[in-house]
Amino acid sequence: MFESDVQDIPQHALTGELPAEPRVTALLNQAHARWAEVTAGEVADYIPALAEADPALFGLSLTEVDGTVHRVGDTAAAFTIQSISKAFVLALVCEAIGHEEVHRIVGVNNTGLPFNSVIALELNDGSPMNPMVNAGAIATTALMPGTSAQEKWWTLHEGLSRFAGRSLELDERVLRSESASNHRNQGIADLLTSYDRLYADPAEMVDVYTRQCSLLVTADDLATMGATLADGGINPVTGERVVTPEVCRDTLSVLAACGMYELSGEWLFEIGLPAKSGVSGGIVAIAPGKGALGAFSPPLDRAGNSVRGQRACAALSRALGLNLFASRPHPAQEADSDA
């Protein structure tokens, strides 16, 4: 899916540090210029407010773990975070209740089915399977600290804002639009309740989940949020610790396996980074110890992932040496083999 687009991109060193700052900026500009004119994909239209997005918008942002930010294009354009919120709510819940409880209650395995599948729940005895599909995300949101839906929302909002390094605003118009058309999520929440997998009122948890998806972010925000996970839980822009290194590890492992839905295996094979997408056109891709890419472009593929964003992430993963699975021989062994 991606290899034909990036195979001619020069590959940087496979391990170690990012290239020097001018080189990173040049590669970001190159990726943006190369795919800005791509017209493939369709803007999400099943949520009426999202159907009005400008398909020409395209921004790429990269935040390094030392706080250096590189950006090109529409990186200040605001859009709703949508499913990308799932990754950071998972981190907040892991921080609050621990690794074992999240594994037991929600699960960490890919369903192999679409993000809003009801069949996946029925086939797995009501288990949400993982926090990146809607069933798992609603169950995860219900585990946020707080004795009421309002308290859970306040805690969640404050936590996501700490990841971004600023107070995130709610898009009331998108919230109303999604609330009027989220019947499937309401059904999923009721089904979770019937299996005793949702530890709060289903209607209230769907409302909180819809609110978290309706928070406004930019490509710059996504890069900062992802870089916080790349930097062991410390926001590299504000210097504030948001979560522990252990929580970052757990969150990134789930993203690697499930973050790109039923195409997660293909994404990992070609790009090799934990990542999460949203149907408003955002993608965050994270290179532990190095930084994170935030991409925004509304046209989506059949799985709900940004077309331009995927291609740019693929090229930059290769050019910047971000792929987690890439390695090179030890110098001594390489010399021996060349002798």
Point out the catalytic residue in the list 24, 61, 65, 83: 83
Known catalytic membership, residue 209: yes
Point out the catalytic residue in the list 6, 86, 243, 297: 86
User: Which tokens in the block code for residue 90?
Assistant: 């998972």
Known catalytic membership, residue 261: yes
Within 10 angstroms of residue 93's Cβ, the number of other Cβ atoms is: 26
Point out the catalytic residue in the list 89, 217, 242, 279: 279
Known catalytic membership, residue 106: no
Q: What are the binding residues for substrate? A: 83, 134, 178, 185, 209, 261, 279
Comparing C-alpha atoms, which of 283, 323, 318 is closest to residue 303? 283
Strands 59-64, 69-73: parallel, antiparallel or unpaired by DSSP? antiparallel
**112 dihedral zone (left: phi>0; alpha: psi -120 to 50; beta):** left
Q: Determine whether 113 is exposed, middle or buried from the number of CB atoms within 10 Å of its CB (0-12, 13-18, 19+).
A: middle
Point out the catalytic residue in the list 127, 209, 277, 290: 209
Known catalytic membership, residue 306: no
| Number of residues that make up the chain | 339
Known catalytic membership, residue 199: no
Comparing C-alpha atoms, which of 72, 67, 49, 81 is closest to residue 290? 67
Which H helix or E strand runs over 259?
none
- Please state, in angstroms and rounded to a whole number, the distance separating the CA atoms of residues 159 and 111: 27
- Please state, in angstroms and rounded to a whole number, the distance separating the CA atoms of residues 182 and 259: 21
Point out the catalytic residue in the list 102, 261, 280, 297: 261
Q: What are the binding residues? A: 83, 134, 178, 185, 209, 261, 279
Catalytic site positions: 83, 86, 209, 261, 279
